[in-house]
């Protein structure tokens, strides 16, 4: 777990773009304002841009954009799950017609898409580091009454490509209070998604690694995969559901029960929900249910929820809830571990 944390931290450090391209893109707002900039990305109904005379990344409401012109290569995703790669331009249109975006693909094929159908864009780059998006968060809660302190560290990385993406997320919590032993919880989630030929369908591979002193878990590892579908995927919300199989291996702390290791094959039922409001708030909920197939009536359930509020530029404040439950733990071991944390986070990449 420490090795995984070190690798992820170094990746986050190296992910800061080293080079910036020329700011020659043009966006024209519906009120007539014209902005020359560098278009970074589109996500959550927000177009992220960089302007020479403004520090940091600026945010523009996508629904209020009328025209877009850029010679940069972008990965463009639509509501029905179709993905394109190419440069952007807005063709002339008569009054009353929806605004369309032309995408000129590398094969010199032009595709015209209604602007409202575009839900995500990512600027591509020559190097891996310049394609990465993510965030780093820190939190601290202190109570004088019982001399309790809770520290929290979180980080995430996203690597988008035309038809697949890779994600990594790490969360670490340390709690201590007078008269009690410190409690620690560390979790590393790895995920790869690949779009299928059918609209909004995808297959996924997952890896989850958990250490929890509250439950006496030295290391719980789970690897598997499955097939999922985006049920809702637009500029305001995203809801996906997936199912598959997972192999779990749980090593419990040897100081309690020597050499206690359990293995199990489990079904995987998962869901992810994201709700967002233009450049203000973002709510994400991830839940997985793991009914054991090799052990009768045993079920694991994991839940991670985060709510973000933008403070300034790339700085956000967030409150999170985490929890994992086991309805049939070994004797003398706790069946649950859950809690909340709060802190600030800094986002980097094309956001």
Could you tell me the two tokens for 62?
A: 């996508």
Indicate the residue among 123, 142, 157 that finishes a domain: 123
- Judge whether 31 lies within some domain: yes
**Predicted pLDDT of residue 10:** 45
Last residue in a domain, options 99, 123, 147: 123
The pLDDT assigned to 19 comes to 44
Q: Phi, psi at residue 128, to the nearest 5°?
A: -65, -45
Angular region, 15: left φ>0, alpha ψ -120 to 50, beta rest:
alpha
pLDDT at 254: 64
**Pair 115, 199 in one domain:** no
Quick count: other Cβ atoms within 10 Å of Cβ 227?
A: 12
In a domain, 47, yes or no: yes
Q: What is the pTM of this model?
A: 0.77
Q: Kindly give the parts of the chain with pLDDT less than 50.
A: 2-19, 94
| Strand, coil or helix: 13 | helix
Residue where a domain stops, chosen among 80, 108, 123: 123
DSSP state, residue 203? E
Is the Cβ–Cβ distance between 177 and 162 less than 8 Å? no
Residue 245: which residues within 8 A CB-CB, separation 6 or more? 224, 225, 226, 265, 266, 267, 268, 293
Could you tell me which of 127, 149, 150, 115 has the C-alpha nearest to residue 29? 115
Instruction: Answer whether 218's CB lies under 8 Å from 251's CB.
Output: yes
Q: Does residue 9 belong to any structural domain of this protein? A: no
User: What pLDDT was estimated at residue 16?
Assistant: 43
Structure tokens at 244: 């598959």
The pLDDT, as a whole number, for residue 99 is: 65
- Candidates 207, 235, 239; CA nearest to 222 is 207
What is the per-residue pLDDT across 86-138, written as a single tens digit (0 to 9) for each? 888 887 654 555 667 777 766 677 888 888 888 888 887 656 666 788 899 99
Cα–Cα distance, 53 to 67 (Å, whole number): 21
The whole domain housing 74 covers 24-123
Q: Tell me, what's the pLDDT at 167?
A: 94
Q: What is the pLDDT of residue 278?
A: 74
> What is the structure's pLDDT at 258?
65
- State whether 304 and 192 are in the same domain: yes
């Amino acid at each position: 777990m420490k090795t995984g944390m070190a690798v992820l931290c170094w990746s986050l450090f190296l992910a800061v773009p080293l080079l910036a391209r020329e700011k020659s893109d043009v966006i024209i707002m519906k009120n007539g304002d014209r902005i020359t900039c560098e278009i970074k990305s589109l996500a959550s109904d927000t177009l992220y841009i960089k302007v020479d005379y403004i520090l940091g990344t600026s945010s523009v409401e996508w629904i209020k954009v009328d025209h877009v012109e850029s010679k940069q290569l972008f990965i463009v995703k639509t509501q029905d799950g179709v993905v394109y790669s190419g440069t952007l331009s807005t063709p002339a249109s008569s009054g009353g017609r929806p605004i369309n975006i032309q995408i000129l693909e590398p094969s010199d094929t032009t595709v015209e898409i209604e602007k409202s159908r575009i839900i995500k864009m990512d600027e591509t780059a020559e190097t891996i580091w310049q394609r990465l998006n993510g965030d780093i968060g820190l939190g601290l809660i202190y109570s004088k009454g019982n001399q309790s302190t809770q520290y929290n560290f979180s980080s995430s990385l996203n690597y988008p490509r035309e038809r697949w993406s890779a994600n990594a997320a790490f969360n670490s919590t340390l709690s201590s209070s007078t008269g009690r032993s410190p409690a620690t919880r560390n979790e590393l989630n790895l995920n790869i998604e690949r779009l299928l030929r059918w609209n909004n369908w995808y297959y996924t591979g997952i890896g989850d690694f958990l250490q929890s002193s509250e439950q006496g878990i030295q290391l719980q590892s789970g690897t598997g995969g499955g097939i999922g579908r985006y049920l809702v995927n637009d500029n305001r919300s995203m809801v996906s559901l997936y199912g598959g199989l997972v192999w779990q291996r749980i090593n419990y702390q040897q100081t309690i029960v020597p050499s206690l290791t359990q293995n199990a094959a489990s079904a995987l039922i998962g869901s992810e929900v994201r709700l967002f409001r233009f450049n203000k708030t973002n709510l994400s909920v991830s839940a997985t249910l793991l009914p054991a197939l090799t052990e009768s009536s045993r079920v694991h359930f994991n839940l991670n929820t985060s709510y973000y509020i933008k403070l300034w530029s790339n700085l956000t404040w967030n409150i999170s809830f985490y929890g994992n439950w086991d309805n049939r733990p070994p004797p003398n071991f706790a069946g649950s571990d859950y809690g909340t944390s709060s802190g600030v986070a800094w986002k980097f990449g094309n956001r």
